[in-house]
Structure 1
Amino acid sequence: MRPTTVTKMKARRTKWLPIAIGCFLTAAGLIMLKHAQVVTGGTAGLSLSLAHILHVKFHYLLLMINAPFLVFSYAVMGRAFTLRTIIAIALLSLLTSAYPLIPYPPVPPLIGATAGGILIGTGVCLLFQYGASLGGSNILALYLSRKYRINPGKTNFLFDCFVLLISLSAYSLASIVLSAISIAVTSAIIAIYKKTNSEHRHKDLRSLKAVLHNKRSDR
């Protein structure tokens, strides 16, 4: 096997491993929220709410709802991003479909909502970092961020509020309040991630400009 081929295979493994970890973290957060009867946001949260209302399996709804967003993703985000997103959605669907088999210790609802929000936010940010998403509002958030520099945390929060409105008829007031806390935590993590990334990019750009300026001065 040629060295270049080995290098490419290692690069692919390096990219796909964080994506898989991001899916595991998100699935763990979703399972935690589902056991706590707490709604999350995004297409995952919308699928959970509709699954509760329509009595349809979550992973089927997740794939159906994401279909039009994936067409949009292919058109504006490119084939590679869309392919990674499809694989991430499929992996998340597989992981969440196994939730009845996973033992879950009793956890206070507030702690479950907060911890679930942290896990989901961290998982989504990891996917963003490596050029993937979980479809739906994630795709829209990334597109608006790249096109109009709108913080994806804000887009995520607005979409999640819409999901909460749909969930009002399916969950108790206490669950909705806990859901709002979980969504706020997830959106805050995504917003912080975007802000930190932007600051790092600006810092790197300033450093590059300084190096180029110094080279020109030395000539």
Structure 2
Amino acid sequence: MSTVELPKVKKHTRLEDVQAIILGTMIIAMGVNLYTHTGLLTGGSAGLAFLLKYATPLTFGQAFFLINLPFYLLAIRHIGWEFTLKTFLAVFCLSVFADITPMLVSFNDVNPVYASVAGGFLMGVGFLMLFRHNASLGGLNILARFLAEKYGISMGKFQMVVDCMIVMLSVFIVDYWLILISFAGAIALNMIIAVNHKPGRYMGNV
């Protein structure tokens, strides 16, 4: 009986990793600014950063960078140095891009519903690029990655539940109507991940 030889999987080069991290975080930064301009929220570390931005003098980039610092220890111990370093680079890039994007792009009049869905899709695509290059944006992404690899829990489904909980906790910060709209964005973001990020389907980072 003849056997079929499977093609060898090629690992991403360092240049490809850097390109994906830069482009992915630029895409996410655009989604973040759609949310910021309309007062919307999302989940995860980004959601916490939005809450801090709305409640303190910190910018989104500053709050996001600070929130992620404690999660690097979990990443080092359970996932490895390569993932941790790539994630640190991604967090740094997003912190910078999120703060400089309003200086380069003007958002004069954006419908909140459109901003929620389109911003959610943009962030979902950016997250997917990072995941496929063994990186994330820290925080709950690290926990979601750990649970997916250790226990087979879907990253998209886990993050969808957690993100919706974080949005619900924002009732004291933003208007309830914006919170309801934000749920649509959380679903849009995590739908991209749940549909496109399947264990074993994409082997480019092996």
Q: Which residue matches 1:54?
A: 56
Q: Read off the aligned partner of 2:115 and give its amino acid letter.
A: G
- Conserved in 2, the CA contact under 8 Å of 1:49 and 1:166? no
Higher mean Cα deviation, 36-45 or 111-120? 36-45
* Structure 1: 4+ residue segments shifted above 3 A: 197-201
Task: Between 11-20 and 117-126, report the one with greater CA deviation.
Answer: 11-20
Q: Which runs of 5+ in 1 are unaligned?
A: 1-9, 202-219
Q: CA–CA distance in 1 between the matches of 2:31 and 2:202?
A: 28
| 1:26 counterpart residue number | 28
Matched, 1:189 2:192: yes
- Give the 5 Å matches for 1:69-218: 69-101=71-103, 102-195=105-198, 198-199=200-201
- The superposition leaves residues 102-137 of structure 1 with CA deviations (integer Å, 9 ceiling, x where unpaired) of 311422211111000000000001100001000011
- Relative contact order, higher structure (CA 8 A, sep 6+): 2
Opposite residue 112 of structure 2, the aligned amino acid is P
CA distance in 2 between counterparts of 1:38 and 1:31 reads 10
Aligned residue pairs total 191
| Identity percentage of aligned residues | 32
Post-superposition offset of 1:158: 2.1
Say whether the 8 Å CA contact 1:43–1:137 is kept in structure 2: yes
Deviations 1:50-98 (A, max 9, x none): 2212332222221221111111111111001000000000000001112
- Aligned partners of 2:33 and 2:102 also within 8 Å: no
Check the 8 A contact 1:31/1:96 in 2, yes or no.
yes
Gaps of 5+ in 2: 1-11
| RMSD (CA atoms) | 1.6
**In the alignment, is the contact (CA less than 8 A) between 1:42 and 1:159 conserved in 2?**
yes
TM-score (norm 2): 0.87
Secondary structure class of the residue paired with 2:13: helix
Structure number with higher helix proportion = 1
TM-score (norm 1): 0.82
Q: Aligned partners of 1:66 and 1:20: how far apart in 2?
A: 18
